[in-house]
């Protein structure tokens, strides 16, 4: 695998996670954006949604709220994750595995990763929810065991560096 400019200087584990995330977005029809959020709600990794400009522009023309961003997706994913964990504890049904929210013009999927992190996927209205969930489970299975505290720290630092320089991953 060749490192893209946005992954130069990162460990092989971090580059692999970037590749897995990019592959998820590129290979699964209907996925608009993806975010990996730490257990404390910090964005660790997000997809480059620049290839979804047309779909995003079409949606924002109908919408009156703020445009979505990786940080917005991370906030929503973290909030839903926290809410469902609370519901799980209240109902005493065990840990939450995944959550799906179907809306008129899109879907939101949240899946737990083994270390307490969350994988959030924003899908189009016409995405096949079962296909998205299947590929999310594959991502979680491949990524969950490598999300060590050191790797989470590296990913967070790389995002902070990108934010301070104005570049995007």
Please state, in angstroms and as integers, the Cα–Cα distance from residue 80 to each residue in 15, 31, 87, following that order: 27, 19, 10
33 is a domain residue = yes
Structural domain count, the chain: 1
Q: What is the domain extent for residue 79?
A: 14-165
Confidence of residue 149 (pLDDT cuts 50, 70, 90): confident
85 is a domain residue = yes
Per-residue pLDDT, 39 = 87
Could you list the beta-strand ranges (E) of the chain: 31-37, 43-46, 98-103, 106-112, 118-124
The predicted-structure confidence for 91-142, as pLDDT tens digits, reads as follows 998 999 899 999 999 999 999 997 789 999 999 999 999 999 999 999 999 8
66 is a domain residue = yes
3 state SS of 28: coil
Global confidence as pTM = 0.80
CATH of residue 58's domain is 3.30.450.30
143 is a domain residue = yes
- The answer on pLDDT for 60 being more than 80 is no
150 is a domain residue = yes
5 is a domain residue = no
């Amino acid at each position: 695998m060749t490192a893209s400019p946005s992954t130069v200087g990162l460990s092989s584990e971090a580059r692999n996670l970037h590749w897995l995330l990019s592959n998820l977005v590129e290979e699964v029809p209907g996925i608009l954006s993806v975010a990996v959020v730490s257990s404390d709600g910090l964005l660790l990794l997000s997809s480059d949604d620049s290839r979804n400009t047309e779909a995003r522009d079409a949606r924002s023309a109908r919408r009156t709220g703020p445009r979505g961003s990786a940080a917005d997706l991370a906030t929503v994913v973290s909030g839903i994750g926290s809410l469902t964990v609370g519901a799980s504890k209240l109902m005493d049904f065990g840990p939450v595995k995944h959550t799906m929210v179907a809306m008129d013009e899109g879907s939101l999927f949240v899946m737990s990763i083994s270390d307490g992190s969350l994988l959030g996927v924003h899908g189009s209205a016409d995405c096949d929810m079962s296909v998205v969930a299947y590929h999310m489970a594959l991502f979680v299975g491949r990524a969950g065991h490598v999300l060590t505290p050191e790797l989470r720290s590296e990913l967070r630092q790389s995002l902070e560096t990108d934010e301070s320089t104005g570049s995007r991953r």
